[in-house]
Chain A
Amino acid sequence: MKARVRIAAVAVVLVALPALAQDLVVWHAYRGGEKAAFEKVVATFNALPSTKAKVTTLAVPYDAFADKISAAVPRGKGPDLFIYAQDRMGGWIEAGNTVEPIDFYVDDALKGRFLPATVEALTYRGSLYGLPLDYKVITLLYNRKLVKTPPATTAELVKLGKSLTDKGAGRFGLAWAYNDFYYVASILNGFGGAVFGPGTKPTLDAPANVKGMELLVRWNKEGFMPAEPSVALITALFNEGKAAMVFTGPWFLGEVAREIDYGLAPLPAIVEAGGKPMRPWMTVEGVFIAAPSKQKEAAFEFVKYVTDGDAARVMALEGRQSPAFRAIYDDPAVAGDPVLAAFRKQVEVAIPMPNVPEMTMVWSPATTALNKINAGSTSPKEALSVAQKAVARDVASLRKR
């Protein structure tokens, strides 16, 4: 009887303790190895003698993540911190009371820890809203059995791609999601195009974008890419050795079959644009402090820790992330990792994907334009000008009142 009372008392104390200490709650959408690595970093942070507020993690499914943040955080029901890519950041800032600006805490030395473009990705209207944790970017993935030296230019790419294509046998030189604007933007950016600029003025029909689309039309005519490329199709082709090269990002590597010996190389330079490199969009995962959090100072201590070198090393080697922490790539273990080194090389020319909320209006018209261009039913110039009008109209209809 006594023992039971004692156990109950201990249980009560154990349950009550974390509540008394006011843990910081961090939401993330990690799974598998990434989740384990992140939890290890958090455990290390909690064990530090300097830690004042312990951190508990909550994995929230990715699909529901952004909507949960939009709904819970402004009403004060959400976490103290959360980790998410920069693309929804602008919307949260415009809605207000969601993301805490952190310029006040950050000095130049702290900013200097990161790859500059990753900090830029988390900057909105001149204010910094989070510290970058890692980035994702697309690069050239190739089957070593079929491709000895990866193409350095688009001319080589087309030549090699055509030589590896055999439509009758269902073999293709290059398989990539050229019906997805996110991927195609790497060509447009290479020509110096952009979706917005200056500010949030849509510029889908800019001449550079038209030129980029015209290159895509030529590639379509060369016939070294499979039609209607879905993710499932690209994965299947690459795993069966029927696609020699793929433009894709780190998320694809988990899907590659064991027996495929693959290599990674930077996206080729565009001969048609005077040898300028293809410039993919990069998404940056930031650690954000929730605006209604009661412990922002303590939360920022965690933000600093989790984006610092020790954490970056664990996240890179165990979580397979590409950290935004710059100095980690001097670490022999990270520098010697072919995958991490390849993405590090590619990110040099990557452009942060726009974080303005207007970006959400771009996807649908841009995809429509892309489909028309790929189908060959409309010229790039006309399709982009229709898309430009649609984006401008959608943005304007949101802003009126």
Chain B
Amino acid sequence: MSPSPPPSHRRRFVAGLAAALALGGGSAAFLVQSAEAERREELASRQAIAVLGALVQAVEEAGGTGDPSRDALRAWQAGQPPGVEARLVVLEGIRLEGSTAPGDAGERAAPRRLAREEKALFDQAQRLRGAVEGNREGGAPKPEVEIERLADGGRVAAAPLRVGGEVVGSVRLTLPTPPAAVAGPRLPGIGWILAAFAAFLGAAALLGERRWMLALGAAVSLVAGLWLQARAALSGLAPGAGADVTLALHAEATRALLASGGIALALLAFVGLGGLARAWRTLVENRQAYAYIAPAVLGTLVLVFFPFFYGVALGFTDSNIYNTSSPLSELWVGLRNYAAILGDFSMVRRGADGALVWNYLNFYWTFLFTVVWTITNVTFGVSFGLLLALVLDTKGLAFRPVYRVLLILPWAMPNYITALIWKGMFHRQFGVVNQVLQIFGLQPLSWFDQPFTSFLTALATNGWLSFPFMMVVSLGALQSIPADLYEAARVDGASRWQQLRAITLPSLRPALVPAVILSVVWTFNMFNIIYLVTAGAPNGATEILITQAYKFAFERYRYGYAAAYSVVIFGILLVYGWFQNRVTKATEGI
């Protein structure tokens, strides 16, 4: 390999500044232009609503339907510029009650039944009626005026037509294309961008290869260029009618501009300080490796990272069954879901009779239960598994392979089936557990009526499912302990108990610690057992976090809230994983 020439800082910073200015300036121009377009839209819609309001009032004052309404429509039309059309749709009998559209003359003159291709008009009137009635009842808020932009820039606006307080149809207004607004310069403030670039070129010629001076100069040029350009462009957002709209847009555009400026600065740093060059170099050097992992990376991006980040984003919204078709940005509620989950401490209160009443829906109750559930299960699984492994490890045990296979069986069965069988065994009248209790003269129990007994059923089921894993892991580790260690201990006069404590348990640790870590994560999220065995009975007391999140999503249909709940679960496991990592590192160090 030939030695590569030392990199030129000057060239990098010039390239970086060019890219950053192009990005920042381009996005600023785009943002300001779209803000201007949005403002025009908003004003046109407002104008349409105002015109429509006057029309609806005129028609309703004339009685809403029949000849008087048509007269009112004609009288109103006389005062309108050409191209404005209005239609009255009446739901009863699917009628076009009145129309000033040129197409609705002769054969098609109103009043008449709506034609097949005019179904949309009827549906719209129905939709408006539904919206008015829903809002009156306090349902999910719906707009009572519909505005639609036509391809040629015109507007169609529709509002409900009321007679005696009830919606009987709709008034539909078509406005022609508004006169084209005076087009401003296409790229306002582009001069500032060019000037900033030229200034840096001049400065770079003087500074030579002094890296940090170049960085400073480039950053100053970028910030100054973008700031001056943005000021010039924003002043183009001409005030005029609807000053409040302009003001709101101004604030919005300013925020967006700040964000794009920040990204541009990051780009400058990345290119100028050599990040891009380094990234490119490793990509080229290890192109074979990158080519090999590309499919996996792509798959992970699509199947893991996209859903994950979508879920995180969903947690910041108010997405629920009423608004699944709205974009997430319209449903943004910030941290409200998290505040509702983590900020609710009403876990227990005093009931009217002085007894404690637990709020099982509370996050902290469920969290506490999940922790207890996890600890008891793992303790149970490890101790039982270890005990069985020690028994099986006995020298000269007859039929050892048979026992081993039998003890692994619970693990081999699908856990859905096991869970349902266990649930059946705890049935009050037909369950085997209660029948055994009765044999011993005890009262049968309603296992799922008390939180503690309900918890026991799930614990028994999960214990049954989890001990074989621990047993297999322990058994493997036990058999790899050299026999001479025990021999030496015996020679030294150590008792069986001392051998266990001094030799067996420390030798098991490297195998058991990872198994316990895994087992904790599995148990923490052991959806099947809780969902199938206790189903949260009684009253959600035995839900763990993951089943609770499921119920929020698919029984209460609060998708945003459930997503936030899942992110909290993820956070808990992340903290646990980090903590566990440190612990294992410490054990490795011994």
Which residue in A97, A125, A397 is a CB contact (below 8 Å) of B558? A397
CA distance A96 to B537 in the complex (A): 36
Question: Known: A126-B130, A357-B322. Is A364-B448 also a contact (CB below 8 A)?
Answer: no
Chain B residue with the shortest CB-CB distance to A377: B449
CA distance A368 to B116 in the complex (A): 49
Interface check A239, CB cutoff 8 A:
no
What mask results when residues 115 to 153 of chain B are scored 1 for a CB within 8 Å of chain A, else 0? 010010011001101100110011111000000000000
Output the least CB separation between B106 and chain A (Å). Answer: 24
CA distance A167 to B430 in the complex (A): 10
Which residue in B126, B555, B556 is a CB contact (below 8 Å) of A127? B126
Q: Say whether A104 contacts B321, CB under 8 Å.
A: no
What mask results when residues 541 to 559 of chain B are scored 1 for a CB within 8 Å of chain A, else 0? 0000000000100011110
Interface check A192, CB cutoff 8 A:
no
Interface check B581, CB cutoff 8 A:
no
Q: Say whether A371 contacts B538, CB under 8 Å.
A: yes
CA distance A310 to B446 in the complex (A): 52
Q: Say whether A398 contacts B320, CB under 8 Å.
A: yes
Q: How many A-B residue pairs have CB under 8 A?
A: 103
Which residue in B449, B539, B558 is a CB contact (below 8 Å) of A398? B558
CA distance A169 to B263 in the complex (A): 77
Q: Say whether B428 contacts A228, CB under 8 Å.
A: yes
Residues of B contacting A: mostly: loop
Question: Known: A125-B133, A371-B537. Is A101-B140 also a contact (CB below 8 A)?
Answer: no
CA distance A372 to B360 in the complex (A): 14
Interface check B47, CB cutoff 8 A:
no
Interface check B211, CB cutoff 8 A:
no
A170 proximity list for chain B (CB < 8 A):
429-430
Q: Say whether A364 contacts B325, CB under 8 Å.
A: no
CA distance A235 to B94 in the complex (A): 51
CA distance A375 to B116 in the complex (A): 58
B587 proximity list for chain A (CB < 8 A):
none
Interface check B388, CB cutoff 8 A:
no
Interface check A250, CB cutoff 8 A:
no
Output the least CB separation between B450 and chain A (Å). Answer: 9
A375 proximity list for chain B (CB < 8 A):
446, 449, 538
Output the least CB separation between B331 and chain A (Å). Answer: 8
Chain A residue with the shortest CB-CB distance to B167: A126
Interface check A233, CB cutoff 8 A:
yes
Output the least CB separation between A155 and chain B (Å). Answer: 25
Which residues of chain A in 46-86 are interfacial with respect to chain B, using CB atoms and an 8 Å cutoff?
70, 74
Q: Say whether A104 contacts B94, CB under 8 Å.
A: yes
Interface size, chain A (Cβ < 8 Å): 43
CA distance A73 to B304 in the complex (A): 25
Chain B residue with the shortest CB-CB distance to A291: B123
Output the least CB separation between B567 and chain A (Å). Answer: 19
Interface check A297, CB cutoff 8 A:
yes
CA distance A200 to B139 in the complex (A): 8
Interface check B580, CB cutoff 8 A:
no
Interface check A360, CB cutoff 8 A:
yes
Question: Known: A104-B123, A126-B130, A364-B555. Is A371-B325 also a contact (CB below 8 A)?
Answer: no
Which residues of chain A in 341-379 are interfacial with respect to chain B, using CB atoms and an 8 Å cutoff?
357, 360-361, 363-364, 368, 371-372, 375, 377
Q: Say whether A126 contacts B322, CB under 8 Å.
A: no
CA distance A200 to B551 in the complex (A): 22
B551 proximity list for chain A (CB < 8 A):
364
Q: Say whether A398 contacts B122, CB under 8 Å.
A: no
Most buried by B among A97, A167, A377, A398: A398
Output the least CB separation between B170 and chain A (Å). Answer: 14
Which residue in A94, A104, A105, A297 is a CB contact (below 8 Å) of B322? A94
A161 proximity list for chain B (CB < 8 A):
none
What mask results when residues 311 to 326 of chain B are scored 1 for a CB within 8 Å of chain A, else 0? 0000000101111110
B556 proximity list for chain A (CB < 8 A):
360-361, 364, 394
Most buried by B among A104, A126, A233: A104
Output the least CB separation between A68 and chain B (Å). Answer: 13
A372 proximity list for chain B (CB < 8 A):
538-539
CA distance A297 to B116 in the complex (A): 9
Q: Say whether A127 contacts B323, CB under 8 Å.
A: no
CA distance A97 to B127 in the complex (A): 12
Q: Say whether B539 contacts A95, CB under 8 Å.
A: no
Q: Say whether B448 contacts A95, CB under 8 Å.
A: no
Q: Say whether A126 contacts B446, CB under 8 Å.
A: no
Which residues of chain A in 125-143 are interfacial with respect to chain B, using CB atoms and an 8 Å cutoff?
125-127
Which residue in B126, B141, B429 is a CB contact (below 8 Å) of A227? B429
CA distance A180 to B429 in the complex (A): 18
Interface check B427, CB cutoff 8 A:
yes
CA distance A226 to B427 in the complex (A): 10
CA distance A382 to B272 in the complex (A): 71
CA distance A226 to B424 in the complex (A): 14
B448 proximity list for chain A (CB < 8 A):
228
Which residue in A125, A360, A364, A368 is a CB contact (below 8 Å) of B130? A125
Question: Known: A101-B123, A297-B116. Is A126-B129 also a contact (CB below 8 A)?
Answer: yes
Since A95-B324, A101-B123, A375-B446 are in contact, a sample of 5 more A-B pairs with Cβ atoms closer than 8 Å, ordered by chain A residue number, is A95-B322, A103-B122, A125-B129, A357-B557, A398-B558
Closest 9 CB pairs of A and B: A227-B428, A125-B130, A199-B137, A104-B119, A74-B325, A95-B324, A227-B429, A364-B555, A375-B449
**What are 11 A-B pairs with beta-carbon distances under 8 A?**
A95-B322, A95-B323, A103-B126, A170-B429, A357-B321, A363-B555, A364-B556, A368-B539, A375-B446, A375-B538, A401-B141
The chain A residues found within 8 Å of chain B, CB to CB, are 70, 74, 91, 94-97, 100-101, 103-105, 124-127, 167, 170, 199-201, 226-228, 232-233, 296-297, 357, 360-361, 363-364, 368, 371-372, 375, 377, 394, 397-399, 401
The chain B residues found within 8 Å of chain A, CB to CB, are 94, 114, 116, 119, 122-123, 126-127, 129-130, 133-134, 137-141, 318, 320-325, 333, 424, 427-430, 446, 448-449, 537-540, 551, 555-558
